[in-house]
Amino acid sequence: MTQTTIIDAGVRKVEATPDAVRGTFLIDSGLLSDALGWELKPTGLCREDVCEVVPDMDALWVGDQLDLVAVAVALGRPVVADVDAGMLAVALPAELRKQALDDLRAPPFELPDVDGRLHKLDEWLGLKRLLVTFSGWCGCRYDLPGWQALHDELSGDGFTVIAVAIDHSADDVRPWTEDLTMPVLYDPNHVLTELYAISNVSTVVWIDEGDGIARPNGAAHGTGIFADFTGIEAKPHLDEIRRWVKDGVVPITEDEARIAVGDLSEDEVLARLHFRVASESHREGNEEATRLHISRAGELAPDDLTIWRAGMPLVGEDPFGDEFLVKYEAWREKGSPAHGLQAVQGVGPAA
């Protein structure tokens, strides 16, 4: 048995036996909870008071050990296993994304700030929250002062901005967050992009005081600095936020919101898993695995900037260079395909 890295919303190591023939990892049943958070019971797989019936329990076993890939599949969780790299990436429960897209309820998450302190979404329960995704590999990092200004303007009205960097490490984020007082977290495993079906940054989600999604994810900017490049003006959307915070005006009906954001495809979910393996391989200095999984992720989700552009720094490419610009123009020629609402075009001045 060797140390195997399991990656989902977090990263942990367990003792497991690589099985190159089957493309999986074998584990003692007593370690299953450490690996996947579930326990094996006579009728199926259980976690706390939730149990999943497994019709063919024998399919989970290889000899006297459990097959981790088979267990994940039995739970309805897609996986990417790299036996050579000693890594297994496991998708988050699809029900959480459906909760966001269909039920308009914000899925919970826990992410670190740049100093390593963990924060949960419900830390700000009772406030209207603007969840803003950005990145150090994106020019939208220069929008942070604009989001900070909005946070300062409306914080007395029961509102906060929560900025989340879709970035590899705290060091990638820290240079852009000095002097900011709004909460700034980072998401090294792309948890939010999977939970909320986000495929580009900057993207915002409006979350009300009780964890309801008032407005699902959509393109937006905190300043007009890149308006000529992106075609997105900041002020119309900022004015809509002011109306929501001050007057409770939501510019979209619940029925419209439920159909506004398409679910991730199977390939897009798998792309996120390959990205997780690539990112962790990069941390461990495994360049071959990093390049392999970045390439595969890009093939599976060629229109997803949180995949192909985010992967560029991991393989030594410039996310602001000529290669990016060529890919970006090709993406724009395809109509800028992305999950989420289009940018707000303007509804007149705020009251």
Residue 226 pLDDT: 86
Take residue 183 and report the two structure tokens written for it: 């909460």
For residues 227 and 59, the model is more confident at 59
Domain boundaries, the chain: 2-90, 92-351
Reported pTM: 0.95
Residues 269-308: pLDDT tens digits?
Answer: 999 999 999 999 999 999 999 999 999 999 999 999 999 9
- CATH number among 3.20.20.70, 3.40.30.10, 3.30.590.20, 3.40.390.10, domain 92-351: 3.40.30.10
Residue 350 pLDDT: 32
Conformational region of residue 182, where left means phi above 0, alpha means psi within -120 to 50, and beta covers everything else: beta
List CB contacts of 181: < 8 A, sequence separation 6 or more: 148, 151, 152
Average pLDDT of every residue of the chain: 95
**CA contacts within 13 A on the Cβ side of 241:** 33
Q: Smallest Cα–Cα separation from 314: which of 348, 287, 336, 334?
A: 287
Conformational region of residue 231, where left means phi above 0, alpha means psi within -120 to 50, and beta covers everything else: left
- Residue at 246: amino acid letter: K
Residues 311-326: pLDDT tens digits?
Answer: 999 999 999 999 999 9
CB 184 within 8 A of CB 113: yes
Residue 229 pLDDT: 84
* DSSP symbol at 142: G
**CA contacts within 13 A on the Cβ side of 180:** 28
If you write DSSP's letter for every residue of 299-316 in order, what string do you get? HH-TT-HHHHHHHTGGGT
In the numeric block, the tokens 């393996």 are attached to: 277
Residues 147-202: pLDDT tens digits?
Answer: 999 999 999 999 999 999 999 999 999 999 999 999 999 999 999 999 999 999 99
